Amino acid sequence: MNKSISIAAVVPAAGVGARMGLNHPKQYLKINGKTILEHTLEKLASVAQIERTYVAISPDDAYYCELVIDHLDVLRVDGGKERANSVLNALRAMAANPPSWVLVHDAARPLVDPKDIERLIAQCVSNNEGGILASKVKDTIKRGGQYSEETVPRDALWQALTPQLFMFEELLYALETALQRGVPITDEASAMELQGKPVRLVPSRSDNIKITTPEDHALACFLMSQQQKSS
């Protein structure tokens, strides 16, 4: 990779994790003795191309200060009401000395494989276009309400994962524009798509799951144990 290329990571972590039914944000649940957020930050820190990570935390978060992350190059910024607001706050925090690229990763995806991140970076930078980790849809997909109305062809369907990697200036403009227009933004790729920008799909391991429910947490504990054994 070109040495003039710089990459910063953003981890939006201001959510409350309501579907977990907890009295604290889900990123502070533990897996094998460490919080989900600690695992996630350590995975990003293991990728040499990432120079610094910004974590967007709720201003009234009382748990972040207890994390053992002093050995990592991590900066805290205030999170926003929605994911897009949190990411935008982080982008503005780095605007005085902006990186070439910004890699956004879910706080609740601690199982991401660093090799997948490296492949995402390599493909996006070499082609000079943004991209996301994604997984081909495996199951049969139905469209409907209470009853199935249609079976949706899955050949061209992908599950969007993270990290998602885009050029700093383009992502900043896309998010600001979408928020000004009141357009719902579910991920960074959706903001870039509104601008007509290409979003490369880079295949990822299917165990790069997002921990959203108690069942996800139980599965993540098992998968993390398997990852640690194999390494």
Does the residue 48 lie in any domain? yes
pLDDT for position 163? 98
Q: What is the pLDDT of residue 227?
A: 86
Decide if 2 is inside a domain: no
Q: Is residue 21, in this structure, part of any structural domain at all?
A: yes
Give domain status of residue 49, yes or no.
yes
pLDDT for 43 equals 97
- What pLDDT is attached to residue 143? 94
Other beta carbons less than 10 A from residue 162's beta carbon? 27
Enclosing domain of residue 189: 7-230
Regions of the chain short of the pLDDT cut 50: none
Give a yes or no: residue 127 inside a domain: yes
- State how many domains the chain has: 1
Residue 118 lies in a domain: yes
Q: What is the pLDDT of residue 1?
A: 52
Q: Side chain identity at 48, as an amino acid letter?
A: A
pLDDT of residue 4: 78
- Position 1 in a domain: no
Q: What is the reported pLDDT for 58?
A: 94
63 located within any domain: yes
Read off the CATH number of the domain in which 31 is found: 3.90.550.10
Residue that the structure tokens 């982080």 belong to: 90
